[in-house]
Structure formats: C-alpha cells, structure tokens
C-alpha cells in the first residue's frame, strides 16, 4: 500500500514511519519541519518538505497516486490556538481541507485523521466513550472537531473513506516539549538532566497515558480495517495520577524524585480517561506497552541525548 504521512517527521509520525516500514508499506512523508525533524526519519524514506497549506500539494498527490493518507500534520498546542486562533485554523482546518481536496481529486481511498481527547472537553462521565458530546474548551479542540465534520461530509459527498482516531495523552521517544501529553516529555527531560520538576495542583489529577508505538499500531489497524467512517479513541483506558506517574521514575532512575508543587493552572482538566472498547472490537487493536516500561524507554532515549 502506498501511504502519505503528513507530519511524519514529528513525534508520533516517526513511530508510525517505523511501524509502516516494518509492515512493508510504501511510505512518503510530507512535513514543513515546523516542529518535526528530518533526523526523526529512518534513512531512505521519501520525504518532501512542504506545508499542508501549499497549493502545490495537488501536484504531489497527482504524481504519487497515494492509496491512503495519514494526516498528522498540524498545530498541536492548545495555548497557541488560544493566543492565535487564526493560525490554528489556517493550519488545522484550511490546511486539512487542502489535503482533502488533493485526496479526493486524485482517487485516494482513505484518510486516517489524528484527532484528540481535547475534542470532548471536560466530560463528566468516565471513561469517555466516542458517543460523548464533543464540547472542546480550546480552538485546538474545535479545529479537530471541525475537521471530523469535514471528513464526514467528504465521505458523503465525494465517497472518500475516513477513520478518525482520538488520541489520549501520547508519550514516548522523540516527543517535543509542546503539544499535548507533554508532561511526560518535560518531566523526563528534566529528571534526566538532574533538574527539579513542578506539578501544578496536588498531583491527584489523572491522565490516560498511551505509548506512541501503540498509537502507531492503532493507525496501522485503521489503515487495514473495514470498519471505516467512524471515530475511535486510542487510549489505555487506565487513569493514572501525575503523582503515580512521577513515582515510577524512582525505580527507573534509582533516585527518589521529589516534585515541587504549585497552584493548579486555570483550565486544566482534573480527570481524564478514555474508553478503548470500540477500538478493541472495531479495529482489533489493543495497547500493549505498560507505563513503567514505556517511561523507561522514554527516559533512556532522552538520557542518551543529554
């Protein structure tokens, strides 16, 4: 299968490229290197440096004739979306429409889209299931929800199949400091360089931390499945408090990590956990990495880079 990964030079993209090459897919990466790095890509992977907003994207699609697109490229930071909603919409909404137009005009069969738990906002019933009302609290979440609606209409009007994947808090090797799920990469890098870490709030706040390699495997399932034109959460369905996550570093580092505590930040959700039942039944996917092992790998990769 010939697949284009937009944003493939980024954190999740680099795990996906690795997975798809292992599965003998033909892979091309399109990325403007805004936050991505060319070094994230294995040698020999076809790469094109281009912005998803670039009109020339159609020429690339017409030449390459992709069967499927995994659309990961995007503005990934909640605070940037709040400071600059126009930029967020230009990249995440208009840039995506540019990709979808090129896709439907060149006979692409399927688009897999990276959506987010932020699409749900502060849902009251946990774990969050896919039918929960989408009530994003930021323009980032709103731009993802908007694209989900575009995908549904592109399917209805142009017959372009899609799979929406709403990722929980993704972590792992090569993660940048911004974006979502950044708490693990920030803490890991600071702990690896002997610096202190600060928890905002009492540390009892929970997240559903899912390893990037598991996300890559979920995207691969989404490329294969017959159960298309719907949304799936990709999550562990396990609620872990920030205090419990930090405690795992004691064993990894052999030191007792003592965090500093500061007042909770406004707008931070206290509890977050997503159901993964639909992905297990509909995609045949299951996360396999334990948080302890995933953190260990992440820590060792950052520790080597210091």
Ligand X SMILES: NC(=O)c1ccc[n+]([C@@H]2O[C@H](COP(=O)([O-])OP(=O)(O)OC[C@H]3O[C@@H](n4cnc5c(N)ncnc54)[C@H](O)[C@@H]3O)[C@@H](O)[C@H]2O)c1
Residues that bind ligand X (CB under 6 A): 7, 9-13, 31-36, 51-53, 72-74, 76, 91, 95, 114, 116, 167, 169-170, 176, 179-181
Give the start-end residues of each E strand in 144-259.
Answer: 161-167, 169-171, 198-200, 206-207, 209-211, 230-234, 240-241
CB of 278 to ligand X, least distance (A): 17
Distance, CA of 19 to CA of 247 (rounded, Å): 30
Closest contact distance (angstroms) between CB of 124 and ligand X is 21
Closest approach of ligand X to the CB of residue 254, in Å: 28
| Active site (annotated) includes residue 270 | no
Contacts 24+ apart (CB under 8 A), 24-28: 25/1, 25/223, 26/1, 26/2, 27/3, 28/2, 28/3, 28/4, 28/64, 28/66
Taking the least distance from each CB to ligand X, the nearer of 194 and 271 is 271
Cα distances from 66 to residues 137, 195, 211, in angstroms, run 35, 46, 28
Least distance to ligand X from the beta carbon of 194, Å? 25
Task: Give me the least distance between CB of 244 and ligand X, in Å please.
Answer: 18
Q: Which of 140, 211, 220, 232 is catalytic?
A: 140
CB-wise, 88 or 192, nearer to ligand X? 88
Of 73 and 258, which has the nearer Cβ to ligand X? Answer: 73
Select 196 or 305, whichever has its Cβ closest to ligand X.
305
* Tokens matching residue 135: 């009530």
- Cβ neighbours of 38 (radius 10 Å): 12
Specify the 3-state DSSP secondary structure of 128: strand
Q: 């949304």: which residue's tokens?
A: 231
Q: Report the sign of the C-alpha dihedral through residues 181, 185, 187, 188, in that order.
A: positive
Cα–Cα nearest to 102, from 141, 76, 71 = 71
Tell me whether residue 35 or residue 138 sits nearer to ligand X (CB atom).
Answer: 35
Pairing type for strands 206-207 and 240-241 reads antiparallel
CB of 260 to ligand X, least distance (A): 24
Contact 250, 187 (CB under 8 A): no
Cross-strand partners of 111: 69, 162
**83 vs 156, which CB is nearer to ligand X?**
83
- Annotated catalytic residues are 140
């Amino acid at each position: 299968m010939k697949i284009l990964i937009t944003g493939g030079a980024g954190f999740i993209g680099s795990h996906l490229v690795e997975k798809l090459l292992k599965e003998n897919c033909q892979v091309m990466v399109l990325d403007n290197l805004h936050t991505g790095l060319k070094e994230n890509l294995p040698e020999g992977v076809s790469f094109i440096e281009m912005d998803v907003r670039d009109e020339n994207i159609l020429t690339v699609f017409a030449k390459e004739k992709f069967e499927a697109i995994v659309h990961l490229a995007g503005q990934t930071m909640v605070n940037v979306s709040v400071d600059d909603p126009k930029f967020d919409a230009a990249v995440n909404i208009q840039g995506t429409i540019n990709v979808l137009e090129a896709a439907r005009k060149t006979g692409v069969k399927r688009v897999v889209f990276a959506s987010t738990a932020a699409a749900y906002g502060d849902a009251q019933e946990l774990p969050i299931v896919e039918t929960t009302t989408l009530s994003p609290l930021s323009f980032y979440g709103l731009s993802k929800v908007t694209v989900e609606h575009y995908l549904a209409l592109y399917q209805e009007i142009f017959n372009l199949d899609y799979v929406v994947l709403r990722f929980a808090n993704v972590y792992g090797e090569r993660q940048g400091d911004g974006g979502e799920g950044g708490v693990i990469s920030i803490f890991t890098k600071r702990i690896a360089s002997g610096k202190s870490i600060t928890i905002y709030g009492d540390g009892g706040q929970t997240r559903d931390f899912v390893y990037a390699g598991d996300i890559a495997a979920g995207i691969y399932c989404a490329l294969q499945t017959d159960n298309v034109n719907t949304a799936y959460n990709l999550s562990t369905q396990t609620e872990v408090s920030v205090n419990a996550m930090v405690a795992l570093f004691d064993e990894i580092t052999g030191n007792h990590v003592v965090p500093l505590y500061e007042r909770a930040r406004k707008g931070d959700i206290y509890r977050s956990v997503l159901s993964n039942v639909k992905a297990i039944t509909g995609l045949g996917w299951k996360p396999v990495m334990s948080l302890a092992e995933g953190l260990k790998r992440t820590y060792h990769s950052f520790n080597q880079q210091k």
